[in-house]
Structures are given as structure tokens and as C-alpha cells.
């Protein structure tokens, strides 16, 4: 085999015989070795696989871009040509890595067996190329080459069975590796002593916080990006302190390794403090300090709670305060979550743009204040929705940049008390390196420690995006209303029965739920605004509720965008005849006669048409104000929908 021969993405090519295959030397996408390796895995010959794969195309994904989202319908089977893809599961703020796919791996084999939605998300860890064969091409191959196709199905089923076995074994190992409850250790703080189970890596202050704040049931561990942000900050601080002579290098190294374990996904379950808490985030910071200290003690060969060798405050929290650590952690978490949300909104925008192109020739009646206005195309309507989403994405990205200005090194109130000279600058530089975000140190640390304006701006951007998205959903519900006694201009995909008493009723459940999600995000903005205003003197005590609402809103908006795009927008169809009938029968088309007849005569026609039930066209001809040819030209729907287009000039 000499390479993979690809078709134009715009043309549905027939399945090719090997004699028809032509090597494109400048764009050879897959090597003979890759073809042979994948063919063996799929139970077919290299020639058979080449015939199948010739109907695909190369897709390129930037680092950090999602190939697909959990719960979205499967679109293609793919072969990884280059790069790394992280398969992860979790929609509620925390992801669990299932596998990492590299060159030569197959993705989406389940499409050979069924059309169930993705059970995981696929995230490109670096620039990644995938050779993708969409499900339409797979179905065509099934029809034309059934004997080859069903061999591939059998092998896909076998691979899925092996994956299930591996997953089961992984779960069993996970259960066996859980720390047994071997007893309790005695810890103390300024309020006294408490027993803490040896199964836990957190300590006495976390235990008190769990008891004091039993409110939302949403723990720190619910938001993976927040836990990772704490780990990145503590590692950066340890490295900076060691370099400046403020921390023993061996302890700093152990702290760094402990943070690496958190960043690898370990012990997130020990971040148990409720997101809603008093103390301006102190309990969250101490939860991180205690878990990292006990992980570091384990690395040093010591027992949990043996804090003389690595102390949560003296070592893990060295040169720090909750008042610089917590807001910085929240900012990093929000920036990471925003990236995911923007990716999902981008997918929704593309879905709307695709519908705009599909409906470009569908003439319909525009409406203002729920009354007939003038004609337009359904494509113009959907393109406007896509533009709204673009504005929302741009706004979120711009505001997220401002969150990368942090106050690390401010310590308690911004003066840098208890930190060595140069620590703020060095710690911030280390944090930028470790986190991968272009973090910058605030110019005025006193101001940055007390001012929550950046959080309020992010919340406001989320609110505006939610307002725009909710408006789109309002229109989808109205346009699909009926089917007999409503507008019925579009059809939404039927997803579930709509009534326990009315047979056959199907409701627009996804636009409805996205409306409600948007209401939640809009309401959360009020909470964030009040919390940002609650800053008094040198500190804002209400940052925990800000974090809770921002991260929750980002999670909701991300999931809403994914589900709305894949389960609703992609499946919308237009009722072309219904749209055209509305235009023909509308009085609103009289607006096009204003430049010729004048407003007064046009209004007279409109009034008579409304009272008599006769058409505008008929009445104008009857009065002899215009010829039939003139009317036909002025009232052409495509001309009224695109009056400035050169193609619609007389």
C-alpha cells in the first residue's frame, strides 16, 4: 500500500476499486504501516481498508479543541494520524480520564454497532489530525461491500468487549487500591483536638469546615479545574520559596510531587469542603494545604498527620494567604472552564451556520412585536442567531483574559507580609509556567486583593450570552409551535412523548430546558454582582459564592450548548410551503409598495386587505395603481428579502 487517497470533502465519491486509487503524493495522509496496522485490528485486508477509508477526509484539531462532546450523537469513525486525544467522562464540572489515544488509534468504532451518543468527550491535547469517515459513507459501504462491512462489525464488537473487560478490571483495581480504614489519628488546631480517619488525606480544619458548611452538597471536588488550580498554585509557591531560601528544598520537592499527583487526578475525592462557605475561602485553602501536606508526607515516607516534616501552614502555605491563593485559584479555574464553554458555544454556532446555509432559499415572513413585518429568508434568521453566539464567544474570551491578572504574593491584604523579597514576581512566573496560562502579576496588590470587578465582568458576560441564547430558544419554540394550530414554520426533532394525558403531543423540550438554564445563569449574575459589591476595606468575604456561581454557570452553559446543537439544531427541518404561504397571504408585503405608492395609499390598501380578507396584490391591480408586471417585480419575495442584493435588481 502506498498511502491514503482522499476525496474532495464537498463531493460524495463512489467507493473505489484498488485500480482506481491514485496517490496524492503532496497530501498523503496515512502511511502504509498505519493502514496495515489498522487493517489487522479491524479484521480486513489493507486493500479493503483503503477502499473504505478512501471515502473519508482529514480533520485537524488545535490543542485544547474538542473532537466531540459527551452525550453528542456519533458522527464519524476515525483513525488518529497524529497527535493525542484525551477521552474523558463527566459533564458536571469534573472529568475522569478514560484513555489517551495516539497515532494509529481508532476512534468511534461503536458507530459500526449502534448510533448511541458518545459516552465520553474527546479533547485534543496537542494539534491532532484524524482521518474521518462519516456515518453516511459507512452506510454506503455497508450497502456496497456487505461482506467486508460485517467483518469490521464483528471485530468492532470484539474490541468493545475487550474495552469493557479492561474497564471492569480498572474499576476492580481502583476498589482494591482504596485506602482501608485502619484507624484514626489525632490532630489539633487552635480550637482543640479532633480524631481524623487515616483513610483521609485532609485534616482537622477540613473536618471542621465539613461540619460547619453543610449547604449545597456541591464539594470542591465537583469542579476539577478548581482542584487543579490549587495544585498549580501550591507547586508554584513551593518552587519559588525553595529558590528564595524560604523553604527546605526536600520539602518543596515533596510538595511539588504531591501537586503533580493531584494534577494527574489523584485524591480529588479528599476535597470535601462545600463550595458555599464562610471565611472568604479559608476552608478551601486549608483543604488543599492539608491534602497536599499528607501526600507530601507519604512521599517522604512519613505517616499522615506527622506535620513536623511537612506542615499544612508552615510549609504548604509558606509565603501565602487564603487572600491571594483563593482568588487566584478561582480565576484559573474560571479561565479553564471558559475555554471548554467557548468550545461548546463554537459547536453550537457552527450548527446554526449550517442551518443558515441550508435554509438560505426558504422565504418566510419576518415579524416585529409578534406581528407580520416584511419577508426574509429562514437562513437570514438562523444566521442572525449564529452571529449572536459569535458575539457571546468573543465577549467571554475577552473577559477571561482579564482574569489572568492575579495577586499572588499579596498575602493577607496586598502588602506581601511574611513573603521574601521577589516572591510575588517569581511565584507568578512559576505559576504561568506550570498552568500554561499567561498569568501576570497585578500592578497594585492591595487593590487586586479587595476588588472583585473582574469576576463581576465575567458574570455579566455570561448573563448577556445567556440572554442571547434564551432569545434563540424563544424563537425556536414559537417557530415550531403547532403542528396544526401554531406557526409550524420549522420542525424540531421529536425527542420524547410530551404529555401523560394527551396522546401524540411532542414538546420542544430542549429549547425549554435551555431557556431555564439561561434563567439560572441570569439569576446567578445578580448573586455575583451583590457578592462583588460586598467587599469591605481590604478583602471581599463573599468570593466563595462568586466561585460557586461562575463555575456552575459555565458548566450549565457548556452542557446546554452541546445538547442544543447536537440534539436539536442539527435536526431542524423547514416547512417550506408553510413559510411561503405566510408570505403570500401577508399584508406586510405592502411595505414594499411605499416607495412607489406612498405611505398613505399603501396604508389604505393594508387596511382594506385586513377588513375584507382580500390580497394586497388583488387590490392594487383593481385600483389600477400599478401594472401586473410592476407588482410582480416589486413583490418578488426574494427581492423583498434581499433588497440590496445585485441579483434582485430589476
What's the whole-number mean pLDDT along residues 138-149? 90
pLDDT (tens digit per residue) in 308-327: 999 999 999 999 999 999 99
> Would you give the DSSP letter of residue 568?
T
Which DSSP category does 314 fall into?
Answer: I
What is the predicted pLDDT for the residue at 109? 84
DSSP string, 531-560: HHHT-BTTB-TTHHHHHHHHHHHHHHHHHH
Q: Do β-strands 85-89 and 121-124 pair in parallel, antiparallel, or remain unpaired? A: antiparallel
95-109, 324-338, 448-462: which range is least confident on average? Answer: 95-109
Q: What is the mean pLDDT of residues 81-89?
A: 91
pLDDT of residue 450: 97
Q: Kindly state the average pLDDT of the residues 450-473.
A: 98
Distance of CA 241 to the CA centre of its chain: 36
SS3 category, 439: coil
CA distance 628 to 33: 70
> Could you give the dihedral angle defined by the CA atoms of residues 16, 17, 23 and 24, in that order, rounded to the nearest 10 degrees?
-10
- Please tell me which residue, 644 or 201, carries the higher pLDDT value: 201
Contact 583, 378 (CB under 8 A): no
Name the most confidently modeled range: 35-39, 471-475, 625-629. 471-475
- Is residue 609 pLDDT above 50, yes or no? yes
Cβ neighbours for 632, distance < 8 A, ≥ 6 positions apart: none
Q: What is the pLDDT of residue 649?
A: 54
pLDDT value for 392: 97
Mean of the pLDDT values across residues 620-633? 91
**209 pLDDT above the threshold of 80:** yes
Q: Is 366 helix (H, G, I), strand (E, B) or coil?
A: strand
- pLDDT at 169 (0 to 100): 72
Residue 589: what pLDDT? Answer: 85
| pLDDT (tens digit per residue) in 239-261 | 999 999 999 999 999 999 999 99
Is residue 22 pLDDT above 60, yes or no?
Answer: no
| Residue 351 pLDDT class (50, 70, 90 cuts) | very high
| Residue that the C-alpha cell 388583488 belongs to | 618
pLDDT value, residue 579: 95
Least confident of 120-124, 175-179, 414-418: 175-179
pLDDT in tens, 476-510: 999 999 999 999 999 999 999 998 999 999 999 99
Give the model's confidence band at 95: pLDDT under 50 very low, under 70 low, under 90 confident, else very high.
confident
So what's the pLDDT on residue 119? 84
355 has pLDDT over 90? yes
Tell which wins on pLDDT, 284 or 10: 284
b/e per residue, 74-110, with b = 16+ CB within 10 A? Answer: bbbbbbbbbbbbbbbeebebbbeebeebebbbebbbb
Half-sphere exposure of 259 (CA within 13 A, CB side): 26
- pLDDT for residue 159: 75
pLDDT band, residue 94 (cuts 50/70/90)? confident
Model pLDDT for residues 398-412, shown as the tens digit of each residue: 999 999 999 999 999
Mean pLDDT computed over 109-130: 87
**pLDDT score for 290:** 98
Q: Which of 190-204, 255-269, 479-493, 610-624 has the lowest average pLDDT?
A: 610-624
The pLDDT of residue 204 is 97
27: confidence class by pLDDT, cuts 50, 70, 90:
very low
User: For residue 644, what pLDDT band results from cuts at 50, 70 and 90?
Assistant: confident
pLDDT at 20: 39
Share above pLDDT 90 across residues of the chain, in percent, rounded to a whole number: 70
Contact 287, 206 (CB under 8 A): yes
Residues assigned a catalytic role: 499
pLDDT mean across residues, the chain: 90
Give residue 177's pLDDT.
52
Q: What pLDDT, in 10s, does the model give residues 586-601?
A: 888 888 899 999 999 9
For residue 17, name the pLDDT band (cuts at 50, 70, 90).
Answer: very low
Span between the terminal Cα atoms of the chain, in Å: 58
Q: How many CB atoms lie within 10 A of CB 166?
A: 11
In this predicted structure, the answer to whether residue 39 has a pLDDT above a threshold of 80 is yes
Per-residue confidence (pLDDT) for residue 43, from 0 to 100: 84
Share of the chain above pLDDT 70, in %: 92
**Chain centre distance of CA 264:** 21
Q: How confident is the model at residue 460 (pLDDT cuts 50, 70, 90)?
A: very high
pLDDT tens digits, residue range 514-546? 999 999 999 999 999 999 999 999 999 999 999
Average pLDDT score over residue span 452-467:
98
Q: What was the pLDDT predicted at 170?
A: 66
Confidence at residue 178, expressed as pLDDT on a 0 to 100 scale: 54
Confidence of residue 38 (pLDDT cuts 50, 70, 90): confident
Q: Which domains does the chain have, with CATH numbers?
A: 18-175 (2.60.120.10), 200-318 (1.10.275.10), 325-577 (1.20.200.10), 587-648 (1.10.40.30)
Does the structure show a pLDDT above 50 at 139?
yes
**What is the arithmetic mean of pLDDT over 336-361?**
96
Q: Which residue shows C-alpha cell 469576576?
A: 455
Amino acid at each position: 500500500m502506498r498511502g491514503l487517497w482522499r476525496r474532495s470533502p464537498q463531493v460524495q465519491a463512489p467507493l473505489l476499486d484498488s485500480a482506481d486509487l491514485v496517490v496524492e503524493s503532496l497530501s498523503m495522509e496515512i502511511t502504509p504501516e498505519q493502514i496495515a496496522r489498522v487493517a489487522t485490528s479491524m479484521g480486513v485486508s489493507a486493500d479493503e481498508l483503503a477502499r473504505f477509508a478512501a471515502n473519508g477526509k482529514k480533520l485537524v484539531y488545535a490543542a485544547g479543541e474538542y473532537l466531540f462532546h459527551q452525550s453528542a450523537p456519533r458522527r464519524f469513525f476515525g483513525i488518529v494520524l497524529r497527535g493525542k486525544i484525551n477521552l474523558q467522562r463527566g459533564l458536571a464540572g469534573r472529568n475522569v480520564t478514560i484513555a489517551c489515544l495516539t497515532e494509529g488509534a481508532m476512534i468511534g468504532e461503536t458507530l459500526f454497532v449502534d448510533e448511541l451518543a458518545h459516552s465520553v468527550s474527546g479533547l485534543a491535547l496537542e494539534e491532532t489530525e484524524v482521518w474521518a469517515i462519516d456515518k453516511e459513507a459507512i452506510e454506503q459501504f455497508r450497502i456496497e461491500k456487505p461482506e467486508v462491512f460485517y467483518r469490521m462489525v464483528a471485530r468492532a464488537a470484539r474490541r468493545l468487549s475487550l474495552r469493557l473487560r479492561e474497564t471492569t478490571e480498572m474499576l476492580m483495581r481502583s476498589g482494591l487500591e482504596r485506602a482501608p480504614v485502619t484507624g484514626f489519628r489525632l490532630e489539633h488546631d487552635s480550637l482543640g483536638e479532633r480524631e481524623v480517619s487515616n483513610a483521609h488525606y485532609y485534616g482537622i480544619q477540613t473536618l471542621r469546615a465539613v461540619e460547619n458548611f453543610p449547604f449545597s452538597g456541591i464539594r470542591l471536588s465537583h469542579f476539577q479545574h478548581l482542584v487543579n488550580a490549587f495544585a498549580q498554585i501550591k507547586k508554584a509557591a513551593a518552587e519559588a520559596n525553595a529558590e528564595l531560601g524560604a523553604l527546605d528544598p526536600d520539602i518543596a520537592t515533596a510538595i511539588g510531587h504531591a501537586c503533580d499527583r493531584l494534577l494527574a487526578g489523584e485524591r480529588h475525592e479528599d476535597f470535601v469542603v462545600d463550595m458555599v462557605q464562610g471565611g472568604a475561602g479559608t476552608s478551601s485553602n486549608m483543604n488543599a494545604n492539608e491534602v497536599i501536606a499528607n501526600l507530601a508526607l507519604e512521599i517522604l515516607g512519613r505517616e499522615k498527620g506527622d506535620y513536623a516534616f511537612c506542615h499544612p501552614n508552615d510549609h504548604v502555605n509558606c509565603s501565602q494567604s487564603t487572600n491571594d491563593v483563593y482568588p487566584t485559584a478561582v480565576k484559573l479555574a474560571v479561565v479553564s472552564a471558559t475555554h471548554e464553554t467557548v468550545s461548546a458555544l463554537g459547536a453550537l454556532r457552527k450548527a446554526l451556520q449550517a442551518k443558515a446555509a441550508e435554509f438560505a432559499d426558504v422565504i418566510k415572513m419576518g415579524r416585529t412585536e409578534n406581528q407580520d413585518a416584511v419577508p426574509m429568508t429562514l437562513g437570514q434568521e438562523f444566521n442572525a442567531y449564529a452571529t449572536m453566539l459569535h458575539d457571546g464567544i468573543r465577549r467571554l474570551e475577552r473577559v477571561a483574559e482579564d482574569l489572568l491578572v492575579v495577586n499572588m504574593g499579596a498575602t493577607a491584604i496586598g502588602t506581601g507580609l511574611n513573603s521574601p523579597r521577589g516572591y510575588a514576581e517569581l511565584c507568578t512566573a512559576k505559576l504561568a509556567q506550570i498552568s500554561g496560562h499567561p498569568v501576570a502579576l497585578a500592578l497594585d496588590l492591595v487593590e487586586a486583593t479587595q476588588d472583585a470587578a473582574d469576576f463581576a465582568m465575567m458574570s455579566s458576560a455570561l448573563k448577556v450570552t445567556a440572554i442571547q441564547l434564551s432569545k434563540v430558544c424563544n424563537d425556536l419554540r414559537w417557530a415550531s409551535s403547532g403542528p396544526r394550530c401554531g406557526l409550524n414554520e420549522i420542525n424540531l426533532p421529536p425527542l420524547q412523548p410530551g404529555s401523560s394525558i394527551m396522546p401524540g403531543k411532542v414538546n420542544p423540550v430542549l429549547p425549554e430546558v435551555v431557556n431555564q438554564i439561561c434563567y439560572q445563569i441570569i439569576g446567578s449574575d445578580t448573586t455575583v454582582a451583590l457578592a462583588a459589591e460586598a467587599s469591605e476595606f481590604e478583602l471581599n468575604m463573599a468570593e466563595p459564592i462568586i466561585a460557586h456561581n461562575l463555575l456552575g454557570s459555565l458548566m450549565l452553559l457548556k452542557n446546554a450548548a452541546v445538547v442544543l446543537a447536537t440534539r436539536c439544531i442539527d435536526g431542524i427541518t423547514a416547512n417550506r410551503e408553510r413559510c411561503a404561504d405566510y408570505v403570500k397571504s401577508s399584508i406586510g408585503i405592502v411595505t414594499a409598495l411605499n416607495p412607489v405608492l406612498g405611505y398613505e395609499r399603501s396604508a389604505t390598501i393594508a387596511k382594506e386587505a385586513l377588513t375584507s380578507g382580500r390580497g394586497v396584490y388583488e387590490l392594487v391591480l383593481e385600483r389600477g395603481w400599478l401594472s401586473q408586471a410592476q407588482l410582480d417585480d416589486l413583490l418578488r419575495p426574494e427581492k423583498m428579502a434581499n433588497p440590496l442584493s445585485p441579483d434582485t435588481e430589476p
